Amino acid sequence: MSQQTWPSLSRHICWLMAALAVAGLAVSDALPFLYTNLRAPINWTQPQLDDWKVEVQPRSVVPHVELKYHPNRTSTETADTDEAFLERLRALRQNRSSARMLWYDAAAGDGLTYPPFVDKALKLFNLKQVAFEIENSVLSKVSCTACKAGAGLLQHYIKSGKTDAELMKMIAQYCTNLSIQSPRVCEGVAQLFGSEVIYVLQRVNLGPDELCSFIIGDGCGDVYNPYHEWEVIFPPVPKPPRLAELPVPLEAAPFFKVLHISDTHYDPHYVEGANADCNEPLCCRLSSGRPASPNAAAGKWGDYRKCDTPKRTVDNMLAHIADTHKDIDYILWTGDLPPHDVWNQTKQENLEIIKETVKQMTEKFPGVPIFPALGNHESAPVNSFPPPYVNQVDISINWLYDELDVQWRRWLPQSVSHTVRRGAFYSVLVRPGFRIISLNMNYCNNKNWWLLLNSTDPATELQWFIYELQSAEFSNEKVHVIGHIPPGHSDCLKVWSRNFYKIISRYESTITAQFYGHTHFDEFEMFYDPHDLTHSNSIAYIGPSVSPYYDLNPGYRIYYVDGDHDTTTRLVIDHESWIMNLKEANLYGYPIWYKLYTARAAYNMKALRPSDWDKLLNDLTDNQELFEIYYKNYWKNSPARPTCDAECKKRMLCDCKSGRSHDRRHFCADVESKIDEGSSKSWKSWFYRGLTNSTWEQHTEEQGNIESNALGFSDVVYGVFG
């Protein structure tokens, strides 16, 4: 994912719809059918799904990682052979006499010029607010209205028989004439995204209400949509009894040292001294123009403004890691490699960036296993990941998945090729009794418009996930899950996230940690038993971004994971975040990477079990001093971070507690009430809360910082993007 730009397709498409929305609002009287619950009939048929069967696919059953001897490790005991260790694990297993069970259930005006009524509509429509909300993914009723108006008008034009070329030209002209973006960005977005959106809208039987609820989420109302309601199928195997309390990992036991890198957003066109304060979604390039002043010039090592990561910074970070952390056992690499120039990307350019970064990682960490996950920026256009049933050559995603299989094969066993080529997900047995499952979270991405055709478990990924977890449970394996978009993030489809949440609860004794990126911040996300919210059952670690985009320092994470021994929990023992102070690096000409904090020491945690993180969440709610430490680490100690008031604190802690997307009211009432009790009861806070309770609270699902003022929305701090 990416943070605060146009990383999410919905933001780009909503830009297009916002351009149409002004026209839509102005002509609503003339086109009343756009704003009723009656839908014009559309020729729509259920996509033909394939008959891919989960249980007949090959699995990774041979340990993939051979441990190396590191003399600086605490334990000096000679490790067992894999065979001996596996045999001892078998001896420890209980209730393993029954055979493995397999399952599979098969069961407006039509001119292309700027219309005269727009001036009148602009007086009624706060386009500036819509533009801000779209760019920062903090969507209120205003943006919802814009989405509905734009979607309705676009559907009207499609039905009226306009060609794709006419529609894209109209979209670009509206975008330019309303000054939503620069002409070249408007033209690029219309060309790159327009044909895909038109293709999908021609084939769905959804009105504007359903479309915008799907794209924006609860921020646009929880509209019931029978086309997008589905449930995964669990095997007829009872859930193992849960432990009263998970054991604390042994301090002196063997461990794995794990590097987590995410959201590199390497920009091959970054130019030191270029304009960092441009009027486009990505700056610091020659095409950004000349800086108006020395302060507007891009720094040598990066910039806090809308700029991605220069190659020298990526090279320096990898060299620093290789030199400082010589004893890394394996690497988690959770996606988002290309930059944020989403209006002019090509498939070929994105593939070249993938190849180059894979080459970098291979050269810097020879012999170190790397487990990658796919980000939402790897595709072109961004967020476009058609499911397998969309198999036409010109729109299929095979161009990306086939190349990923080639590149990832440097680190992954051949047995995963079939699932990588199908959906860019895989499962690998890392060590005896320990498995890593990498998910393609773009199938939960509500900015992936292809899911409007059919969002039912795209690529059969979640059903496959259940099969892998049940097989792991039968084999007494512990599992770490990796992906890009956190499942509780508002970019994740509500129905997908709801099913995922059930899976985590069912297999809580098997899944011992989850790892994601996407938000660019340093944070975490909690999971609870859906039937007992006092029982925390899983923790998702959300790693910091390498990219400074935007207002952030570059960073990465190191985890210490319970290793190979008889009583291993495979829990994360501790983690530390490392950063580079970008301001000082640009000032002195050379970056210095340093450890910002270690989780257990910074937050006074006994261990890093889900229950410990749940306790920390309560402590952060009650202890303002501790929260300020967390807030500093969340922003990677950026000097550009804004202040955080009570509303900001509520949003941040609610983000931590909401492992299920678009369901904040279900999880956050206690956190918000505690913060309200301790916060000022000034008229300003009261007025802001009045706004949030009516419409706004539901729409701030993204990572970011919300600042209120007496006028409501004017001080909204930049949020996080997908």
Handedness of CA 32, 37, 38, 41 (dihedral sign): positive
Taking the C-alpha atoms of residue 704 and residue 379, their distance in angstroms, rounded to an integer, is 24
C-alpha 348: how far from its chain's center? 23
Q: Which residues contact 581 (CB under 8 A, 6 or more apart)?
A: 553, 591, 592, 594, 637
Q: How many CB atoms lie within 10 A of CB 74?
A: 10
- Yes or no: say if 124 and 1 are a contact pair by the CB < 8 Å rule: no
Sort 105 into a burial class: Cβ within 10 Å, 0-12 / 13-18 / 19+: exposed
Contact 416, 372 (CB under 8 A): no
Binding site per annotation, positions: 263, 265, 336, 376, 484, 518, 520
Residue 102 CB contacts under 8 Å (≥ 6 apart), including other chains: 55
Cα dihedral 210, 213, 218, 222 in deg (nearest 10): 0
- Euclidean distance between CA atoms 252 and 76, whole angstroms: 10
Give the whole-angstrom CA distance, residue 396 versus residue 672.
Answer: 44
The C-alpha atoms of residue 151 and residue 23 are separated, in whole angstroms, by: 11
158 exposure class (CB count in 10 Å sphere: 0-12, 13-18, 19+): middle
Name, in order, each residue with C-beta under 8 angstroms of 107's C-beta and a sequence gap of 6 or more: none
Instruction: Give the list of residues 6+ apart from residue 373 with CB closer than 8 angstroms, or none.
Output: 332, 333, 334, 335, 438, 439, 440, 441, 482, 483, 484
222: CB partners within 8 A, 6+ apart? 213, 494, 662
Secondary structure (H, E, C), 337-397: CCCCCCCCCCHHHHHHHHHHHHHHHHHHCCCCCEEECCCCCCCCCCCCCCCCCCCCCCCCC
Q: Encoding tokens for residue 495?
A: 């129905």
Calpha distance 550→554 (Å, rounded): 10
**370-372 and 426-431 strand pairing:** unpaired
Q: Which residues are annotated as a binding site for Zn(2+)?
A: 263, 265, 336, 376, 484, 518, 520
Query: Contact at 8 Å (CB) between 136 and 715?
Result: no
- Could you give the CA distance from residue 303 to residue 477 in angstroms, rounded to a whole number? 44
Residue type for 405, please?
Answer: D
Q: Nearest Cα to 383, choosing from 498, 518, 495, 209?
A: 518
